[in-house]
Structure 1
Amino acid sequence: MLRHVTYLVAIVSLATLTLGCQPQRQDAAKFPVQGTVTLDGKPMPKGIIYFKTIATGSVDAMDIVDGKFSGEAEPGERRVEISAFRPVPSATPGMGEGEENFIPAKYNTKSTLSADVGTDKQLEDFQFAVTSK
């Protein structure tokens, strides 16, 4: 019995040491960004813009309101994805409305848009033009 208790204490101690020695994740530095998004030549009324680093899974999201966005993003070359949603009726009676992203995939899931976010704390200003077709 004493042997089992000693073994258990050793495992718990080792686990505690291992967890205590994990490196602390430091959030990456972020820099100010802002800009405009037009939809079919007019300011996008409402949407979301994502600055992504696909290799690391890093994502910075900002709301688009009246064609403008602002926030902070990690530096470097970032893939930009833009989405906007509209209500759609549910195919199931009684379930109410759902939403669909009506911006073509070439601006979000298959986006080739990019932004090079600087590292000098200077406000970056980006402009993106998307079409609904």
Structure 2
Amino acid sequence: MFQISARAPFALTLIGCSLLVGCFGGSAEHIERASVSGTVTFDGKPLPAGNILFVPDVDASGNPLRGKAVQATITDGAYTIPAEQGPAVGNNKVQITATRKTGKFQESDGQKIEIEKQYLPAKYNASTTLKQDIAAGENTADFTLEAK
């Protein structure tokens, strides 16, 4: 038969607390974010409306950066993302999208909806070549896009 020591409840409590800290991120890594704002022009004019997405890329060693992609709305060529919601510090890929109405319609749930089409070249979104190095603090990132 087993004999339980008077120290057993204390030991079990200590083990339980250690497991909880390990399982629930007691050593969670902090991802540094920064604010970014700027302008986006297309063929020399402010982009009337669109979205800009910053996606963490790789560090100087080629290792993937941690963090989530963050997005902002572009209005009259300008966008702003505050630090608390901003992109991860380091290299980020940038995707910029903008759509136009096509004059064509489709039916969805009994309603006619006008179809919109992406009009910026894929090199700025689906196959982006845009990158931005985000530094700690405040950043300005302006993008000049062309139809070519």
TM-score bucket of the superposed structures, by smaller chain:
0.7 to 0.9
Bigger Rg over Cα = 2
Q: Which sections of structure 1, spanning at least 5 residues, go unmatched?
A: 1-18
1:44–1:76 distance in 2 versus 1, CA, 3 Å: same
The residue aligned with 2:23 is 22
State the identity %.
31
Aligned match of 1:124 in 129, 134, 139?
139
Alignment of 1:1-133 (within 5 A): 22-24=23-25, 28-54=31-57, 55=64, 58-71=68-81, 72-88=86-102, 89-90=104-105, 95-119=112-136, 121=137, 123-133=138-148
- Deviation by residue 1:1-52 (Cα, 9 ceiling, x = unmatched): xxxxxxxxxxxxxxxxxx9553336663321100110011011010100101
Separation in structure 2 between the aligned mates of residue 105 and residue 57 of structure 1, nearest angstrom = 24
Question: Aligned-pair distance for 1:63?
Answer: 0.7
Coordinate RMSD, CA, aligned: 2.6
TM-score normalised per structure 1:
0.73
Question: Aligned-pair distance for 1:101?
Answer: 1.3
Separation in structure 2 between the aligned mates of residue 32 and residue 128 of structure 1, nearest angstrom = 16
TM-score normalised per structure 2:
0.66
The aligned amino acid for 1:22 is C
Question: Aligned-pair distance for 1:90?
Answer: 2.5
1:69–1:22 distance in 2 versus 1, CA, 3 Å: same
Separation in structure 2 between the aligned mates of residue 26 and residue 100 of structure 1, nearest angstrom = 40
Number of residue-to-residue matches in the alignment: 115
Secondary structure at 1:96's aligned position in 2? strand
Runs of 4+ in 1 over 3 A off after TM superposition: 23-27, 54-57
The aligned amino acid for 2:92 is R
